[in-house]
Structure 1
Amino acid sequence: MAGIKEIRNKIKSVQNTRKITKAMEMVAASKMRKAQDRMRAGRPYATKVREIAANLMQAHPDYRHPYMMERDIRSVGVVVVTTDKGLCGGLNTNIMRLVLARYKEFQEKGLDVQFTALGSKGASTLGRIDAKIVSQEVQLGDQPNLDRLIGAIKVQLDDFVDGKIDAVYLASNRFVNTMRQEPIFVRLLPLPSGLTDPFQTEGEDAAANGNGTAPSQYGWDYIYEPDAKAVIDDLLLRYVEGLVYQAVAENMASEQSARMVAMKAASDNAKKVIDDLQLVYNKTRQAAITKEISEIVGGAAAV
């Protein structure tokens, strides 16, 4: 009967695990809706500031911001957005695989690379490979806080303006739908030509030229108040901040969706394991009963 007791304990253990995964699935489902609402609420602002920045790049003001100037690339900065917690499927694995692949490419070209980690998982992975982390922000919570994000990314922005790095890239997860999240790696600075929307998904309304950019067939001539420098400085800073904020919001929506799907799969697998163990338990118990009956009948026949 020792085997039966072990199986019974195993069933109870798996049942307890299933209760936990089921509860986590329900919590993730609740948080997912709020995270998706925040993500979608931020998209109009990010889209509009991107369109204005794209139009600005086609204008020819007397003042050109450093963010708009191409350079010979000798060193780069990468802002990596990951989650603070695990149990969300391959979400962090996929984005870090992409980041490490690009990191290897940069090293092969002889470029110096420095990182800003937004999220504990990215920070721990970069720390294990002894990557150069110049700033980080962890424990972001369930809602992105722009004030905390600005402090982390300002290190990269200041280094770019000072000429210490020649390009800044952003790595994050793009929310496509509840079942699908895609890792992306886009250039943040200097502003790429066209300024396509990295978070636009198939089926969403694109701009007039069909690829998420502002129409490019027209020139732009703005009147700046109070002056071009004040307007452009503020606008491009808002563009960078808006893109990073949207990346974090998209990543949080992706995290909750991936966790809900992962916990549902874990709950379903636990149920299958319980059913299999229950079958083994019944067979073992029946075999033990049959053996006892055979021993009793054999003993009675011997008497």
Structure 2
Amino acid sequence: MAESLMDIKRKIASTKKTGQITQAMQMVSGAKLSQIEKRAKKYQIYSDKVRQIVTHLAAGQLLELANATESDTDSGDKSQVISVASLLQKRPVKKTGYLVITSDRGLVGSYNSTVLKAMMQMIKDDHESPDDYVMMAIGGVGADFFKARGLNLAYEYRGVSDIPTFNEVREIVKTAVTMFDNGVFDELYVCYNHHVNTLTSAFRAEKMLPISDLDVSEVADTNVEYLIEPDLDSVLESVLPQYAESLIFGAIMDAKTAEHAASTTAMRSATDNANDLISHLSTQYNRARQAAITTEITEIVGGAAALE
């Protein structure tokens, strides 16, 4: 019985240490979540402004450019086809690109499995051949997952910081836009977990390229006029890629926010489970100790009775 008591005491001590670790990780994840939520709100202001400017400029000649056929753009100015027309114009989809955002580590609950399961289901439903799609992975979990299954992984990026900056992920954004321009894929979907609140996230697959979410009717009721220098084409060549980059970076920010929320929830759950286990072990320890005491008293009383 003494060995059993020692075993229970060791389990209680070990569980307490584990609970302290998970509680500390919960606090760290909560702090990161608070920081990235504030930064995401500020970034949303920038994103909305870029969208407003691009939509306003697109209300003019870009409307014709977006509706032009591929043969029309081939006969036009090549300097504009890559930077402007290719970002707006729909072209025959021979291959689809998927930019999948996961974490670099575990301890985030079902965050990664939700994205990867939904991704595999999308591929199964939408594609008949592996030649119809190409994968791009942000995060080590997703990259290792696709490699293990022999999927066509054209690009991977590991080590995105907990609070990403645009300069840090510029390589990712530039690579995605450049691959689209070069015809590696004809449309790009960014797939990630969208942050709803601390307890909830939802899988989202957004079509980022070609840019198709601009609604020129949004500027119909505005009287804003821009002074354009040197000319509209030059401004669009600069602003349109920037807008495409802002969409992808915004998705990365959203995914990181959901990751920290998932980590906070997972560590809170682990801490609660540790506390429940400690309570159960403490009850078990007290019962075992009481049984040991009762046994000793019984032996003493029995021995005294035998001497009489």
TM-score, scaled relative to structure 1: 0.85
Partner of 1:14: 15
Work out whether residues 171 and 185 of structure 1, in 8 Å CA contact, stay in contact via their aligned partners in 2.
Answer: yes
Partner of 1:287: 291
Determine the C-alpha separation between the residues in 1 that align with 2:151 and 2:141.
14
Q: C-alpha offsets along residues 177-215 of structure 1, whole Å, 9 cap, x if unaligned?
A: 2222222101011112447xxxxxxxxxxxxxxxxx962
Please say which of residues 231-240 and 13-22 is displaced more in the overlay: 231-240
Distance 1:258 1:110, change over 3 A: closer
TM-aligned CA deviation for residue 270 of structure 1: 0.8
Determine the C-alpha separation between the residues in 1 that align with 2:251 and 2:226.
29
Work out whether residues 24 and 263 of structure 1, in 8 Å CA contact, stay in contact via their aligned partners in 2.
Answer: yes
Work out whether residues 208 and 248 of structure 2, in 8 Å CA contact, stay in contact via their aligned partners in 1.
Answer: no
Determine the C-alpha separation between the residues in 1 that align with 2:260 and 2:266.
10
Residue 70 of structure 2 corresponds to residue 69 of structure 1: no
TM-aligned CA deviation for residue 144 of structure 1: 1.4
Q: C-alpha offsets along residues 104-160 of structure 1, whole Å, 9 cap, x if unaligned?
A: 233337752112212222222222222222222211112213234232343332232
TM-aligned CA deviation for residue 222 of structure 1: 8.1
Q: C-alpha offsets along residues 242-281 of structure 1, whole Å, 9 cap, x if unaligned?
A: 1111112122222222212221111111111100110011
Please say which of residues 144-153 and 22-31 is displaced more in the overlay: 144-153
Distance 1:110 1:287, change over 3 A: closer
Q: Of 116, 123, 127, which aligns to 2:143?
A: 123
Q: Of 64, 81, 94, which aligns to 2:101?
A: 81
Name the Cα RMSD after superposition. Answer: 2.5
Partner of 2:75: none
TM-aligned CA deviation for residue 293 of structure 1: 1.5
TM-aligned CA deviation for residue 219 of structure 1: 11
Partner of 2:218: 215
| Partner secondary structure for residue 218 of structure 2 | coil
What amino acid does structure 2 have at the position aligned with 1:35?
Answer: I
What amino acid does structure 1 have at the position aligned with 2:286?
Answer: N
Work out whether residues 106 and 113 of structure 1, in 8 Å CA contact, stay in contact via their aligned partners in 2.
Answer: no
Determine the C-alpha separation between the residues in 2 that align with 1:27 and 1:159.
37
* Structure 2: 5+ residue stretches without partners: 66-79
Partner of 2:230: 226
Partner of 2:44: 43
TM-score, scaled relative to structure 2: 0.84
Partner of 2:70: none
Determine the C-alpha separation between the residues in 1 that align with 2:251 and 2:86.
23
* Greater helix fraction, Structure 1 or Structure 2: 2
What amino acid does structure 2 have at the position aligned with 1:85?
Answer: R
Query: Aligned pair count?
Result: 286
| Partner secondary structure for residue 61 of structure 2 | coil
| Partner secondary structure for residue 116 of structure 2 | helix
Residue 6 of structure 2 corresponds to residue 2 of structure 1: no
Partner of 1:268: 272
Determine the C-alpha separation between the residues in 1 that align with 2:96 and 2:30.
38
| Partner secondary structure for residue 225 of structure 1 | coil
* Structure 1: 5+ residue stretches without partners: 196-212
Work out whether residues 173 and 249 of structure 2, in 8 Å CA contact, stay in contact via their aligned partners in 1.
Answer: no
Greater gyration radius: 2
Q: Of 166, 178, 194, which aligns to 1:174?
A: 194
Identical columns (%) = 30
| Partner secondary structure for residue 150 of structure 2 | coil
Determine the C-alpha separation between the residues in 1 that align with 2:200 and 2:29.
15
Determine the C-alpha separation between the residues in 1 that align with 2:221 and 2:61.
13
Work out whether residues 79 and 115 of structure 1, in 8 Å CA contact, stay in contact via their aligned partners in 2.
Answer: yes
Q: C-alpha offsets along residues 13-70 of structure 1, whole Å, 9 cap, x if unaligned?
A: 1111001011111111222211111111100111222233344444334665111111
Distance 1:214 1:238, change over 3 A: farther
Determine the C-alpha separation between the residues in 1 that align with 2:124 and 2:268.
35
Determine the C-alpha separation between the residues in 1 that align with 2:276 and 2:165.
41
| Partner secondary structure for residue 108 of structure 1 | coil
